[in-house]
Each structure stands twice: as C-alpha cells, then as structure tokens.
Amino acid sequence: MKKKLFALLMAVVMVLSLASCGKKADAPAATPADPGTSTTEPAAEPTTDLPLGYDPTTGAEAYGPYWDEWSDMTDEELYEMALKEDTAINVYATSSKMLKAEEPFEEMYPGLDLVVSDLDTDEVLSKAQIENETGNVTADVLQTKDVNGSVFYEYYYQGVIEPFYPRDICSHLDESYLTYSYPLYASQAFWYYNTEAFPDGQPVNNWWQIIEKDENGNQKYRLFTKEIGQESSYMSLFASFINNADQMEKAYEDCYGEKLEYTYDPSSFNFEVPANNAGVEYLWRFSQAKMTFIGDGDELVLAVHNSTKDDPALCLASAGKIENQEESGYNIDWCVNMAPYTGLLNVESMFAVKGCNSPAGARLFIRYITGGTDGQSGGLKPFTKVGNWPLRDDFEDKKNPKKLNELGAIANNLDDIYAIYPDVQDMWTYWLNQSPNK
C-alpha cells in the first residue's frame, strides 16, 4: 500500500538526513522510574517496536488506546515528579485559546511554569521534528490535529512524539476516539446557507446538489470555499469520498433516481486512478465548478449572508463561523445530515514529546487541559465554544445548538485517507488547472 511505501520512504529520508548532517536521532522517552531523561546523549536510530504507528519492516500497525506506566498515575504523583524535573512545561499549540491555560494551570500547580507557543499546524510539527533531529528538545507537549494520517504514520515512527492515554479519563471517552491519538475536542466543517433566502430550511441535503445545474446548464449555487488543495482537512474529506465510493454512488442514485454517469478520464495520470469511482467523479465535477476561493472564514460566511434567493450562495467553512449569527447578525446556518454524510469529524489531540525535559509535567498538563479526573479541572473551558464538541461523557456541552450525533458527520479513517492522500492532491491540482472557471 502507498501509505506503507511512503512511511518507509519517510523513515529512510529521516535516517539519511541524520547521518549526512551528523545529527542525533531520538533518545528513549523518559519513564516514571527515570523522570527528566533528556536527549543530550547520542541515541539509537528509530526503532520498529513503537507502541503506535506503522512498522515498515513487518507491516504491522498499532493503534490506541495504549497503556503504559504513565497511564495510571494520579495528578498528585505527576505533580510531585514534575517539581523534580525541568519545571518549565513548553506547549506548542495550534489554538490561541491554549494561552488562556497558563495562569490557571500555574495557580493550580505552584512551582510549575507553563509556556505556550501559539503556532500554525505546520510549525508545531516542523519545530518539534527539527528539535528531535538536532537533539535539542524544547517542546514537552504538542496540540494539533491529524486529518490525513501523517502525524500517526510518520511522527510516531520517527520518534518525535509518543502516546499518552490516562486510563481514568479515557474511561469517559468512546474508544473509537482513541484509535490514533488522545483527543482534546472534535470539530468539523459545514456548508452554510442563507436562512433569509431559504426560510424553510437548508436548500441542499446531498453533496451532489451542491454542484447541481439548472435546466439551462447553469450552476444553481455560487460556491465559496478555501482552496481545497491547500486545506488538508478538506482534501481529506474529498479523499474519503473516493474511499466511500459506494456511498457516493448511492447518494447520487437516491437523489436523482438514475445511475451515475462517469465522465472523468482515469488515464490522465501516471498513477492508478480507479475507474467508475463515484468519489473520483465528484472530485472531477467539483474541480470544474465555478467557485470563489477566500482564505478568511468570516468573509466566506459573509458572502452567503449577502446572497439572495434569486442569486443563492453556499460556502464551506468551519463550524465555529456560525457565531457570526449573533455577533454580526448574519443570516446563516449549517447544512446538516447531508448524504452520504455531512463531513469528517476532525479531532484536536494532545501529544507528549519524546525525549522532552518535563515528561511528568507534560502528562500532568495533558490531564489538566482535557478536564482532569472528573472533568472539572477547568482546562476544557477555553475550548468550550460553538463549533467545538467536547468528547467526554461526563462534561456537558452548553454551547452548541446541536449535539455531535445530530450532525451526520463520520469518523475520520486515517488509514484509508493516508493511503491515497498524495494521489488525491495531484488529481485535484491537475483538474483544477484544467477548469474553465479557474
């Protein structure tokens, strides 16, 4: 499978880069019996017996939840250990809301210094990887999401991160959320419509309707979105349509009462593209539709707010942009329960950094930010907003107008998406460049 060849390639590149530059590979992670172990001594090359990820030498894949010596440690035990190691806990986060955790965490755990760096997703991972390669590890905790399997299949294998699953907290999470990482909260994207133009409810209930044309061959809806190929979460969503081609085909037939006609040319590429795949057909048709790319989510929903019944528009944007309903008075709402499914459920996750200077402190903070033993630590408070869904069964969601199971999203199968993701990117880019509406 491509994911395995790619993982092997990444591993080879990693080893060669370390050898050619004279850099050190990862050191074994600190354990409870040896807190504070650093990467100041040369370490062995990445091993193949990682607790999570993919082993290219055997083809074995390992998934969570994963239990180790840290999993059953209490907050009190971790705090005591954290005071004996480097007391500065460095967190690389993709959410600026993580900054709000600094003061309350330090008040709860005197003597510890929480240092949060607000970074882009690529920066979180690249900085941690460079630190791992050079042996100068600063980060203790990473907060990011894995939407295409790259974190799971590459960063665990390269020894940049290691899993931490606190057993007591995990008992309040559905095990399906623990397969690839330890989650903080879930989010997703929606198609938005104008509620004034469509007072009876969402005008589309099926993904095929989004690109529908009228009797004159004109596109029914003006479409606004971020550039799909530059948004890994959106590209992963379209990859999922290819993996779930049977569902896409059925959605078409249920909508129009006839068989789907395949119009794309699978021979256009120097890699194998499946023939008569409804997901590929949708990618092709969507790439040829007339759409406007806007990088700012607020501007995307504004375009829908400014649309009319006679000139309707839809936009694809993150769930949190629904806040413009109240904050800016926009006439917008989500399109939910779309066929075959609304979207992918993306999970923001917490990762411990392998070889960090504060291994106990890192795990204490991860426990804190995900609610602690009883969900009442206060760590989840900054992330409790419209468009974010807490996953613990003992934490009440008071912000969202709909519950997670009422939206029609499905879990993100990182295995299947990782296997085809590069090809889907290539297909999208090639077809988009051919579009007469580009």
Q: At residue 118, does pLDDT exceed 90? A: yes
Grade residue 23 by pLDDT with cuts at 50, 70 and 90: very low
Structure tokens belonging to residue 7 = 């993982």
Contacts of 410 (CB under 8 A, 6+ apart): 240, 341, 343, 344, 345
Q: Report CA torsion sign: 203, 204, 210, 212.
A: negative
Say what the pLDDT of residue 44 is. Answer: 37
Rounded mean pLDDT, 7-27: 37
Gap between the Cα atoms of 351 and 29, Å rounded: 13
Buried b (16+ CB within 10 A) or exposed e, 212-250: eeeeeeeeebbbbbbebbebbbbbbbbbbbbbbbebbbe
Q: pLDDT band for 403, please (50, 70, 90 cuts).
A: very high
Helix or strand (DSSP H, E) at 316: strand 313-318
Percent residues over pLDDT 90 in the chain = 84
The pLDDT of residue 49 is 64
pLDDT mean over 320-349? 97
Cα 69 from Cα 58, distance rounded (Å): 26
Could you report the per-residue pLDDT of 213-231, keeping only the tens digit for each? 999 999 999 999 999 999 9
| Contact present, 102 and 88 (Cβ < 8 Å) | no
pLDDT of residue 50: 73
Rounded to an integer, what distance in angstroms lies between the CA atom of residue 131 and that of residue 329?
Answer: 45
